Structures are given as structure tokens and as C-alpha cells.
Amino acid sequence: MTQSPDLPALTDSHCHLDFPDFEGQTAEIVARAAAAGVRRMVTICTKLRAVPQVRALAEAHAPVFWAAGTHPMSAAAEPLVTVEELVALAEHPKFVGIGETGLDYHYTADSKSVQQESLRLHIEAARRTGLPLIIHARDADADMARILTEEHRDGAYTCVMHCFSSTRALAEAALDLGFYLSMSGIAAFPKSSELREIFADAPRDRLLVETDAPYLAPPPHRGKRNEPAYAALTARRMAEHLGMDYADLAAQLEANFDRLFTRAAAAPARKTGTHG
């Protein structure tokens, strides 16, 4: 299945195609995404021992790129990542970002010290590779803003605040550093008016869209399995809120993605679909 020529192109900047929810269905998921105008997706490896499976997905499917890191909720249970490991992974031509990494004190506050150490290692890898850092932040806004700012002062790097649903203060701190905010299905939830206002007040050239699939499906699929095609539903809802034509917002989001994820932007254009 190929992209409909009358649909604006989008990229799902963050999903998890290696999760069990999608086992054996990747080709169909990629095809449905293309039919919705979602021409590319970045699948995120959250534990380095899963690298072979995630890398294989990117190698098997032309629209799929990948990134890798240690998720903060796993930081205490997994071996501490090294900068050298991450830099070595970045040699793969479809490896486009460092992470996800970050801080999550919601369920795992007891491991905050190792989360912070892991985060700083990922930041150094982002500096060395020139690839964007992919940040997960939950219930840790003050420490997150502090560490991102301290580290940026020590040496610049680029970054996206994935699935942003934190406070306006953290959004402003990230934007002040030149970072990007990514809109997930949460932005389309009826009760997310305050979050939509944060995105509305952000510069248009700092916004991305994602699914975080299989989680956080936007309406009308809320509570069900999410998938990359649904990035278009979130983008359409945000276009309404921002008072923009959907095609104009989609074009802006694509330009933003290409500016941040430069390796994906530089990849040879190939027919959207699966290698066969």
C-alpha cells in the first residue's frame, strides 16, 4: 500500500515497533501508516539488549528509522550504558537519535541517582554524534530542566522532549535551549486543554508529532492499541486547535523533523513500503 497523493506527509517521530503488541505485523502497520500519509517512523529501542530486533526492523522496512538508549524506568535494572556503546550504534546508517533517556520519578523515584547518571551519559553521546537526544520526562521537571541546562552550558546538543505532557515551566526551559516539543495522542484528549495551550504558545518550528505506539492512542481509538497511522489524527486535532490548515501544519512538522533528525532527512528517497 502506498501513500495517497492527496494526503499531506507526516513522520511518526517516536514509536516502539519491537514491542510484543506488534509482533509479526510490521509490514501491515507500515502500510496502514503510508495510507494515512505517515511516510516515515522512528522506532525506539529502550534497552540495549533489544538492539538486534529494533535494528532489524529498520533494515527490513524502508520507512522505518531507529534510535536507542536506556529508558529511565529501566536504568537501575539494566547495565549502565556507556558513551562508547551509543557512539558505536550511531555508525548504523538508519540510526537517527540517542535515547530514549531521561528522568521518571512517577514509579521509579528510588533510582533517581542512576537515572541522572544515565541521562548525562546519553547527553554526551548526543554531543559526540551530533544526533538528537530523545527525552522522557515524568514527575521530574525541576531536575530535568536543571540537568538539561547544565549540560547544554557545558556543550551544545539538540533534543526533543518526547511525548511532552509536563509543565509549562519545563516546556519553556526546553524551548529556551533550542529544543523541540513532541505532541502525542495526549494532546488530542478532550481534557488536555492546558497541554494544547502549551503547544499553541510554542514556536511552530519547534513542534513534532508522534504516537508513542502502542501507547496513548488518540480519539477515536483511545484505550486501544496505538499505531503510527494515528499520528495523523493527533496532527489533525492540533491543526484545528492552532487554527491552521492541516496540510500547512503537516508541512511544518515535516520541516521540523528534517531539521532535527538530519540523518533521516538525508536518507535516499525510496518508495514507501517494505523491502521485498
Going from N- to C-terminal start, the domains of the chain cover 10-265
Residue type, 171: A
pTM exceeds 0.75: yes
Say if CB 149 and CB 177 are below 8 A apart.
Answer: yes
The torsion angle over the Cα atoms of residues 123, 212, 175 and 73, rounded to 10 degrees, is -40
Position 43 confidence tier, pLDDT thresholds 50, 70, 90: very high
pLDDT exceeds 90 at position 16: yes
Question: Do 39 and 253 form a contact (C-beta atoms < 8 A)?
Answer: no
State the sign of the Cα–Cα–Cα–Cα dihedral 229, 234, 260, 18. Answer: negative
Q: What top-level class would CATH report for the domain 10-265? A: alpha beta
Residue 227: which pLDDT band, with cuts at 50, 70 and 90? very high
pLDDT at res. 6: 79
Residues of the chain above pLDDT 70, percent: 95
pLDDT value at 131 more than 50: yes
Contacts of 165 (CB under 8 A, 6+ apart): 184, 186, 192, 195
pLDDT digits (tens, 9 = 90+) for 87-114: 999 999 999 999 999 999 999 999 999 9
Please write the tens of the pLDDT for every residue from 136-183: 999 999 999 999 999 999 999 999 999 999 999 999 999 999 999 999
